[in-house]
A and B are shown apart, each in its own frame.
Chain A
Amino acid sequence: MRKFFDDITAITGNVVKVRATGVAYDELAAITTNRQTSLAQVIRLEGDEVSLQVFAGTQGVSTGDKVRFFGKPMQVPFTENLMGRIFDGAGRPRDGKPEITDDPIPIGTPPINPTRRLLPSKMVRTGIPMIDVFNSLVESQKLPIFSVPGEPYNELLARIGLQAESDVIILGGMGMRHDDYLTFRNAFEAGGVLGRTIMFIHTASEPVVECLMVPDLCTTVGESFALQGKRVLVLLTDMTAFADALKEIAIIMEQIPSNRGYPGDLYTQLARRYEKAVDLDGAGSMTILAVTTMPGDDVTHPVPDNTGYITEGQFYLRGGWIEPFGSLSRLKQQVNDKTRDDHRAIMDACIQLYAGARESREKKAMGFEPSQWDLKLLKYGELFEKRIMDLAVNIPLEKALDECWEILAECFEPHETGIRRAIIEKHWPKKLNDKSQQSQTVTTDAKD
């Protein structure tokens, strides 16, 4: 069912209005100018006037150009042949290989029935103590990396992506720089996963609207693999570019903005994508890790703010490490009771004490004489940063827990840690404890 219409009545921003009949809401169209053919999507119907969001932008569109409607929404092929391939934001190959047309499925499937979801239960080990110990990542989690521009967020994303066990990796790039694309490519190649990776890459030099499809392309393909029983990992970067594209369309459509120009449905739009992360009862799973760059390091900016309300926590990348405050894995409690019996206690105590260390540091910076307690905290803060927080540290969870105990024992008396007695008795490093008692006796002897 092909239909042509050429009565274009308005062209504003990336939106074209055309008179047409029999068109369905959300349908896909193609608009052919004398330069190119671009895909477009129906975003409003009013009588016989159809508003189209043109993926390639409206530059060069003339009122006499032809619009063809496909009679169906945007689709993406779904086949094993996708593995190892690279596409652009409109789903066209960008690796020079032939187009894939097998088994097209519509993008943006309905939500999964909550009763068919499983409780997430499998921990993803990353070797990064700030994640494994303090904010464990869990299969099927949806989790963004909040980052100030300039931090090594893509490196971190790639590193976690490679550590996670998965059958399929899907990378979605939005507004990506070519260098970043190469970073991922090289990392995946070195990790030997390129053959089971699928990429949908929209680069910064391409029309803004084209990035709007990227999350849907990734999650639709990912979901289909998950339904087949595969464990899918979706990596998205940068969701702020996606949100900015939404903002642009909303402004053109004259929607009343709710907050700093972003549309009132930003939350819903983001949630519909992130909520695709799932552990399916009787099938596979899809984990979504995303980058959200924070303009001006402002976590209250609408994009990180809405994201934080949607995702199952966030890793807050700042100053070269994952911040203990502000970072959160909401699913950690699903797994950290099954690792080691001291995991939770260490997790709480180390962070509470580190909060104290920061306070003592502030006091010191203001020129106050540190108390005995401050001195302990200051020492602790330094050791904790060097031996645990540093992103270069790459050790398994159990090693990291032991390391935390060592640091605690080097700095505190057991009862000062706030850890309950039963756990202390079992895990407090014995040797060190003896040594400190010895040295105490030694000093008293010396005094005598």
Chain B
Amino acid sequence: MPGKIAAVFGNMVTVELEQEVTQNSVAYCCRADGRRLISEVIRVRGSQADLQVFEETRGLRIGDRVEFTDEMLSVVLGPGLLGQVYDGLQNPLSKVALQEGYFLTEGVYVHALPTDIEWDFTPAVEVGQEVTAGDTLGTVPEGIITHQIMVPFHLRKKLTVEKIAPAGKYTVEKEIAVLKDESGQEISVTMEQRWPVKVPLNISEERLLPTEPLVTKIRIIDTMFPIVKGGTYCIPGPFGAGKTVLQQLTSRHADVDIVIVAACGERAGEVVETLRRFPELIDPRTGKTLMDRTIIVCNTSAMPVAAREASVYTAVTLAEYYRQMALDVLLLADSTSRWAQAMREVSGRLEEIPGEEAFPAYLESRIAGFYERAGVVRLKDGRIGSVTIGGTVSPAGGNFEEPVTQGTLKVVGAFHGLSRERSNARRYPSIDPLDSWSKYTGIIEPKKVAEVHNILRRGNDVKQMMTVVGEEGTPIEDFTIYLKSEFFDNVYLQQNAFDEVDGATEADRQRFVFDKCLEIIRLDFEFESKDQARQVMFYITDLFRNWNYAPMDSDEFKKILAEIDEIIATKGKLVKEALVK
């Protein structure tokens, strides 16, 4: 017996129950015109259940029928996920568009995987073999990767292979194996399986400490505030500071196998940028397009709020699935604040006791639970896979002293704080080099990083002092430190995202250029006046900046390098002389 709608308020529906229900199970609100709106049970009290509806509730009436299922909100896993653009509930948007045209009509649900593609299956087990959850039954090539078809993850008991399909072409819905459990029951297995999005998916021997640097080719990140495979990091910043651009750059250049972009409650236009550009950009790692290694999960700000909450879980589950294949997966969530706000909206309608800024009291534990799903694991066969999570945070008023930023900072391994001051001055990427931190070790020796960090800090102190005592009251030694910190900021920390060469710096080049910068920083130029010091440092800054635009090992690169070396060898003698003229 289904239930009946007793109340509607925003995306919350209260249902008068006529049967048992399971918390977090999926239900459908049946609108008078026949549309069924997918919902989730989020509270049960007595004979009533509260549902959050993942669609607009317009048109629902008191007394409308509600049908319940036993399944929790789940995603479909199998070959064909790569390159897809999904909404927060894993509806493939291109297919939806074919069916519905321009609009995302309510109550339209489409199978997440292409059901017409025949995949080239190669079995990996034999009849009689013992297997269990996560073991590979066979493989199919999925674009750039070898996709493992695994024993369904919920089958945690010992199983025996009763039947295995011979090599050949199969669609995801075709049976490829039959497994028998200890009680003799037979289980039919296809290439697709389902998994509830709010339950972490991790079938492995052990979790390892994440240590291998994840190279983003963004210098300030890789050198100063590194991230690692299996680690977590966050990018808080006021609007317009560059969070999304930073994530877009990372999604392009990051040295990982698969990137999952979770566009959560932000602009549709930003998703369009990725989905229109990626199919044309070649990934140097694979020679295929970037789209071939990317999955977009988008629930943009105009799409229903409850589905926004679900979308980050959908995305992280897809990431975990590919980790089970020993791949390195990067999940970029933009913005986790919108996800938190979706929780706040639901919590408000449930009339729960609010915490700070009306966020629910469980906000922090939800944030922690989400980032906890990142990690490096050693799989049962000894191979290693990882999920790295990077989330942007959009604090109200750009003030980091707010619940989502604070809750996130407690659990992540690196903090890339964007500053309004830097973005206003077009110092991109606007990661604040003094506020930000990382607990990980990157591609440059920590001692050297600490040395420039120190220069940056002292340079900033001098700058502050100068606002009090003026330039004339500043000793030339201090002034030089300030100039050197500005030099490093200008030529190394800042990076022109729109330049073919400067936009992405390989690890090798970073090490090389960093060492040259350090030589300049360590050099005693024996300046005679502040004006001379400024002029010389300007000149060197200009030189390095042009160096950044030259492809590594090009003639231009070598030419500028020779000039830099000459400056270092002579303490800038020629520059000084040229400037006098």
A interface vs B, CB < 8 Å? 21-27, 43-48, 73, 108-120, 227, 255-259, 264-265, 267-268, 271-272, 275-276, 278, 280, 283, 300, 302, 305-306, 308-310, 312-314, 325-326, 328, 330-331, 333, 337, 344, 348, 351-352, 355, 362-363, 366-369, 371-374, 415-416, 418, 420-421
Contacts and interface: CB of A to CB of B under 8 A. Distances in A.
Most B Cβ at <10 Å: residue of A111, A308, A333, A367: A111
Nearest to B240: A328
B467 A420 contact: no
B549 A26 contact: no
A25 B60 contact: yes
Given A300-B399, A305-B397, A344 B424 contact: no
Residue from B102, B300, B425 with most neighbouring chain A CB atoms (10 Å): B102
B96 interface: yes
A257 B348 CA distance: 9
A277 B534 CA distance: 48
Contact of A259 (B7, B357, B531): B357
B96 A113 contact: yes
B240 A45 contact: no
The number of chain B residues touching the other chain, given as a range, is: 35 or more
Contact of A272 (B57, B101, B302): B302
A363 B470 CA distance: 7
A117 B354 CA distance: 38
Contacts, number: 211
Interface stretch (B191-199, B272-280, B283-291, B323-331): B272-280
A153 B165 CA distance: 70
A111 B104 contact: yes
A26 B57 contact: yes
A236 B286 CA distance: 47
A366 B94 CA distance: 60
Given A117-B269, A265-B345, A369-B470, A110 B357 contact: no
Contact of B426 (A46, A305, A306, A348): A348
Nearest to B338: A267
Given A25-B59, A110-B56, A112-B268, A373 B341 contact: no
A348 B103 CA distance: 39
B106 A110 contact: yes
A276 B267 CA distance: 11
A26 B31 CA distance: 13
B93 A114 contact: yes
Contacts of A416: 538
Contact of B268 (A268, A275, A283, A418): A275
B56 A369 contact: no
B107 to A, nearest CB: 10
Given A21-B62, A111-B268, A309-B239, A275 B302 contact: yes
Interface string B46-81: 000000000011111110000000000000000000
B431 interface: no
A328 to B, nearest CB: 5
A45 B8 contact: yes
B102 A227 contact: yes
B272 A258 contact: no
Contacts of B301: 267-268, 271-272, 275, 310
Given A23-B61, A112-B102, A305-B397, A268 B272 contact: no
B275 A268 contact: no
Closest 5 CB pairs of A and B: A300-B397, A368-B470, A271-B301, A275-B302, A308-B239
Task: With a 10 A CB-CB cut-off, give which of A113, A116, A351, A415 has the most chain B CB atoms.
Answer: A113
B516 interface: no
Contacts of B268: 111-112, 114, 117, 275, 278
A24 B61 contact: yes
